[in-house]
Each structure stands twice: as C-alpha cells, then as structure tokens.
Amino acid sequence: MIPLLRRRPTAGQPRRLTLSILRCNPADPASVPHLQDYELDEADGMTLFIALNDIRAHQDGSLQFDFVCRAGICGSCAMLINGRPGLACRTLTRDLGDHITLAPLPYFELIGDLSVNTGKWMRGTSERLQTWIHSTTPVDLDALEARMEPAEAEAIYELDRCIECGCCIAGCGTAQMREGFVGAVGLNKIARFRLDPRDQRSDADFYELIGDDDGVFGCMSLLGCHDLCPKQLPLQTQIAFLRRKMAALGLR
C-alpha cells in the first residue's frame, strides 16, 4: 500500500524552509564532509527536485545531486531525507518540517554531495548474479511467441518493477556489516528470474549464486528494505520464500 500523505494546511505566508545538505567533494583532497544550510521559500506542490534545482540555480551552482526522470520511475535520486532513504523527486516538502536534512545514500561510493554511484554497484551485482534470462532455446523472430499464462506474466512484472534505486541497500543492516551482501535488490532479482519459465536455470544454479552469507543466508530479517522500497515490492515474502527454497536445497 502507498502510505497516506500527511497534508498540512497551505493558507497564509509560504513557509521558509531550511535545507541542511551534507556536502563533500572527493575530487578535492581538502574537502571535509560538512552540513551546509540553504534557505528558500516553499512553493505550492514543491518537491525536493524543485527545491534542490532552485538552490542550484539561484544560490549554489556547484551543488551535486542526481535526477533523471523526476517522476519516481528511474531510481536516480535516492538519498537520505531526514535520515530515511527515499526518492527525492517525489517527496513533497509539505510532508516535511521546516528544517530538512539531506545526505547521500550510505554504502555506495560517493561522487559528491548527494550524488552516489549506485550504477556501478548495480552493474557489478547484475554481473555477479547473472540477472538475465538464461536460455539455450533459439529464438525464431518470425514465429509466434511462446505462450504464457496472463497471471504468470503479471506476477513476473510485480518483481520486475525494481528500479535499482539503492534504498533497500541503504536501509539494510546486513549490508552495513557485510560488504559483499547482495541485498534485497539482488535477492529480488533472483526471485524474479526464478519465477520466469523462460529462464532455464534450476534451483541448484541459483543456490550457487545466493546460497551463502553474502546471499540469502546473510539476511537478518530486519526488513528495512521492505519498509523503504519506493515501489512497494514484496521483499519480505520473496526473501523468506527464497530462503526456504535454498535452505531445503542446502540440506539435501
């Protein structure tokens, strides 16, 4: 379920917002991480995308952050919003207090200020977990496509909706302690390909990929991932299900 908006009355003077942004530039050896405050007037319907671009256009052109779609679908703009991982583009300032603290996602390599290198980590994880359809059946482009039950296609899409934003990793207790942990994003991908009849890998093959403490057995079930996932993916049940399947295989 999508959480309910916490609406505030919007009558009267616009609020004066203070954004405290954690700044650091790894390209500059002298740069020390520090919070820098920016003030601006709130506008109707203001998102953190609008607020940050306003600051960059009018106050500080050197501020680094990442947005692409600005519509909540591409996963570029995950950051710590008052300490909690979330997508900045679709976070409305009216749901936050007058003082907003923004910091880059932890765990990922810092590019600068609020920008982190999730892309590099996600590509590495994809390579490690081989997140593509494994099939030896040749594709005849001229022939009718293979049939699939409509409900099965919808079930695959449910897990295919991950946008690799990194919120689940940023909110993961295991990832903080175990650098090689594939996280909910990785486990969800395995669950997705495992569900897909076009992928010819067996559970034994998947066990090779996630049957250890960097995989499904590393998860401590704190489930910050499940609470934080901006796409409301069913991470809790998928991880539990995978663990049961993999444990059964491991005990065999």
Residues numbered 39-68 forming contacts with other proteins, rule: CB under 8 A: 44-45, 47, 56-58, 60-64, 66-68
Closest to 168 in 3D by CA, of 223, 237, 216: 223
Name the H helices within 17-117: 48-58
Nearer to other proteins, 163 or 191 (CB): 163
Smallest gap from Cβ 77 to other proteins, in A, equals: 10
Smallest gap from Cβ 97 to other proteins, in A, equals: 18
Element (H, E) at 244: helix 235-251
Q: Report the distance separating Cα 85 and Cα 80, nearest Å.
A: 4
Binding to other proteins (CB under 8 A): which residues in 129-168? Answer: 130-133, 135, 137, 139, 141-150, 153-154, 156-157, 160-161, 163-164
The DSSP code sequence of 209-225 is: HHSSTTTGGG--S--HH
Binding of other proteins at residue 102 (CB under 8 A)? no
Facing residues of 22 across strands?
35
Binding of other proteins at residue 122 (CB under 8 A)? yes
84's CB contacts (< 8 A; 6+ apart) are 171, 228
Smallest gap from Cβ 98 to other proteins, in A, equals: 20
Cα distances from 8 to residues 14, 44, 91, 106, 245, in angstroms, run 12, 11, 14, 30, 46
Binding mask 187-206 for other proteins (x = CB under 8 A): ------x--x-xx-------
Q: Report the distance separating Cα 238 and Cα 240, nearest Å.
A: 5
Q: How many residues bind other proteins (CB under 8 A)?
A: 71
Nearer to other proteins, 25 or 236 (CB): 25
Nearer to other proteins, 108 or 243 (CB): 108
Nearer to other proteins, 119 or 234 (CB): 119
Nearer to other proteins, 25 or 101 (CB): 25
Q: CB 33: neighbour CB atoms within 10 A?
A: 13
Nearer to other proteins, 196 or 214 (CB): 196
Binding to other proteins (CB under 8 A): which residues in 13-32? Answer: 25-28, 31
Residue 5 exposed, middle or buried by CB count within 10 Å (0-12, 13-18, 19+): exposed
| Choice from 76, 93, 174, 238 touching other proteins (CB under 8 A) | 76
Smallest gap from Cβ 117 to other proteins, in A, equals: 8
138's CB contacts (< 8 A; 6+ apart) are none
| Choice from 15, 22, 73, 241 touching other proteins (CB under 8 A) | 73
